[in-house]
Chain A
Amino acid sequence: KAGVTQTPRYLIKTRGQQVTLSCSPISGHRSVSWYQQTPGQGLQFLFEYFSETQRNKGNFPGRFSGRQFSNSRSEMNVSTLELGDSALYLCASRDRDQETQYFGPGTRLLVL
């Protein structure tokens, strides 16, 4: 099976803009989670979706949002970008009854 894919891999935006990142989970996986990785804060949980419903949310401002489509693909959106949003955004998918999350290669976002 193909792994988790994320697009785009790299992105440069300016402050105040918004951005949408995409994640395609492993075929058959219905759960998708998003994480932000920065040198200062490390890996932090953003949110999790299962069957198009957000099941869990991390401690991030409302500028961070996401959604999941009927084919389990997920997008996350960050509005009004700030310099501190520069990070590697990782998506992970999980099979229904399994504990393991499988991560994609990430999208590296640079906000100037």
Chain B
Amino acid sequence: AQSVTQLGSHVSVSEGALVLLRCNYSSSVPPYLFWYVQYPNQGLQLLLKYTSAATLVKGINGFEAEFKKSETSFHLTKPSAHMSDAAEYFCAVRVSGGYNKLIFGAGTRLAVHP
């Protein structure tokens, strides 16, 4: 069965610092992986996705993630945090043969302080 683990339910960084949000997945087949962001009182917005093309994926708002099969990881990074990045971030894997079904991690709340 596929699963996603996000290490760290809360991450706090200073403005301008590197953002690193960790995601590890479990999948018996090549996965489709996604990062979504959720701002307060809003739905989920897609940041980026991995669909077996390039292992380094660039997304919106300066975020990128690298797929590492040997480590079963798909960590999200941003070189320089901005105050507007404060939100909750979710890593998800699409269930193979499961059409639309996504399995989400528990989420990581990112705080950015001046």
Residue B104, interface by CB 8 Å: yes
Dominant SS at the B interface?
strand
Question: Which B residues are in CB contact (< 8 Å) with A102?
Answer: 46
Residue B13, interface by CB 8 Å: no
Which single member of B43, B49, B94 contacts A103 (CB below 8 Å)?
B43
Question: Which B residues are in CB contact (< 8 Å) with A106?
Answer: 42-43
In angstroms, Cα B90 to Cα A103, docked, is 13
Which single member of B41, B49, B51, B104 contacts A43 (CB below 8 Å)?
B104
Which single member of B49, B100, B106 contacts A33 (CB below 8 Å)?
B100
Q: Which residue of B32, B44, B102, B107 has the most chain A CB atoms within 10 A of its CB atom?
A: B44
Contact in complex: B99, A42 (CB < 8 Å): no
- Counting residue pairs across A and B whose Cβ atoms lie within 8 Å, the total is 60
Contact in complex: B100, A56 (CB < 8 Å): yes
Residue B30, interface by CB 8 Å: no
From 1 to 55 in chain A, residues with beta carbon under 8 angstroms from any chain B beta carbon are 4, 6, 31, 33, 35, 42-45, 48, 50, 55
Question: Which A residues are in CB contact (< 8 Å) with B107?
Answer: 42-43
Closest-CB distance, B52 to chain A (whole angstroms): 10
Closest-CB distance, B91 to chain A (whole angstroms): 11
In angstroms, Cα B51 to Cα A11, docked, is 37
- 14 residue pairs from A and B, CB less than 8 Å apart: A4-B43, A31-B100, A43-B92, A48-B101, A50-B100, A56-B99, A99-B32, A99-B49, A99-B94, A100-B46, A103-B36, A103-B44, A104-B43, A108-B41
Knowing that A42-B104, A45-B103, A101-B100 are A-B contacts, what are 12 other residue pairs whose CB atoms are under 8 Å apart, sorted by A's residue number?
Answer: A31-B100, A33-B100, A50-B99, A55-B100, A58-B101, A90-B44, A92-B44, A103-B36, A103-B43, A103-B45, A105-B41, A105-B42
Q: Which A positions have Cβ atoms within 8 angstroms of B?
A: 4, 6, 31, 33, 35, 42-45, 48, 50, 55-56, 58, 90, 92, 94, 99-106, 108
